[in-house]
Amino acid sequence: MNKVFILVGEASGDLHASNLVKEMNSVQPSLCWEGWGGDLLQKQGVHLRNHIRNLSFMGFIEVVLNLRTILNNFKLCKKQIEKFKPDMLLLVDYPGFNLRMARWAKSKGISVTYYISPQIWAWKASRINVIKETVDKMYCILPFEKDYYKKEGFDVSYFGHPLIDAKNNFENQKGLSLSKSKSTIAILPGSREQEVKRKLQIMLEATRKYTDFNVVVACAPNLPSSFYTKYKQDYPFAEFVFGKTYDLLSSADFAIVTSGTATLETAIFRVPQVVCYKSSFLSYKIAKFLVNIRFISLVNLIMDREVVIELIQSDVTTNKIQKELDRMIYDDTHKLSIMNAYDEMINLMGNEGCSKKIAQDLLGFYTK
Query: 235's torsion region: left (phi>0), alpha (psi -120 to 50) or beta?
Result: beta
Band the pLDDT of 282: cuts 50, 70, 90: low
* pLDDT above 80 (res 171): no
pLDDT at 119 over 80: yes
pLDDT at 56 over 70: no
- Tell me, what's the pLDDT at 176? 80
Structural domain includes residue 146: yes
Q: Are residues 7 and 141 in the same domain?
A: yes
Q: Are 102 and 238 contained in the same domain?
A: no
pLDDT at residue 286 in the model: 54
pLDDT at 65 over 60: no
Examine the pLDDT at 308 and tell me if it is beyond 60: yes
One domain, residues 188 and 293 = yes
Q: Which of 267, 245, 258 is nearest to 296 (CA)?
A: 258
What is the DSSP pairing of strand 47-51 with strand 88-92?
unpaired
Q: Does residue 361 lie within any of the structural domains?
A: yes
- Give the C-alpha separation, 303 to 293, whole Å: 13
Q: Which helix (H) or strand (E) holds 79?
A: helix 67-84
pLDDT given for residue 61 in this prediction: 45
CATH code at 63?
3.40.50.2000
pLDDT value of residue 139: 97
- Which range is most confident: 7-16, 50-59, 291-300, 319-328? 319-328
- Indicate the DSSP class of residue 315: G
Same domain? For 18 and 120 the reply is yes
> In this structure, which long-range contacts are made by residues 157-160, counting pairs with CB atoms below 8 Å and at least 24 apart in sequence?
157/358, 157/361, 158/350, 159/350, 159/353, 159/354, 159/357, 159/358, 159/361, 160/349, 160/350, 160/351, 160/352, 160/353, 160/354, 160/357
pLDDT score, position 292: 63
Q: How far apart are CA 325 and CA 320, in angstroms?
A: 9
Q: Are residues 283 and 217 in the same domain?
A: yes
Q: Is the model's pLDDT at 173 over the cut of 70?
A: no
The rounded distance, in Å, linking the Cα atoms of 35 and 91 is 10
**Is 168 among the domain residues?**
no
CA 235 to chain CA mean position, Å: 27
- Say if residue 95 is in the same domain as residue 190: no
pLDDT band at 60 (very low <50, low <70, confident <90, very high): very low
In a shared domain, residues 30 and 95: yes
Confidence category of residue 327, pLDDT binned at 50, 70, 90: very high
pTM of the predicted model as reported, rounded to 2 decimal places:
0.81
Given a cut of 70, whether residue 261 has pLDDT beyond it is yes
193 lies in the same domain as 341: yes
pLDDT of residue 5: 98
Percent of the chain topping pLDDT 70: 92
pLDDT of residue 58: 47
In residues, how long is the chain?
A: 368
What mean pLDDT is reported for the chain?
A: 90
- Could you give the CA distance from residue 175 to residue 130 in angstroms, rounded to a whole number? 45
Distance CA 282, CA 16 (A): 31
Instruction: Choose among 228, 150, 143, 244: nearest CA to 193.
Output: 228
Percentage with pLDDT > 90 across the chain:
70
The residue with greater pLDDT, 105 or 170, is 105
Do the Cβ atoms of 87 and 111 come closer than 8 Å?
Answer: yes
Q: Which whole number is the average pLDDT over 37-51?
A: 95
Torsion angle (degrees, nearest 10) of CA 65, 68, 73, 74: 110
Question: Number of structural domains, the chain?
Answer: 2
- Rounded CA-CA distance 282/230 in Å is 27
Q: Which residues span the domain enclosing 223?
A: 183-348
Question: Considering the domain boundaries, does residue 176 fall inside one?
Answer: no
Task: Kindly state whether residue 174 falls inside one of the protein's structural domains.
Answer: no
290 versus 207: the higher-pLDDT residue is 207
Distances from the Cα of 127 to the Cα of 73, 100, 108, 173, 201, angstroms = 21, 10, 20, 43, 36
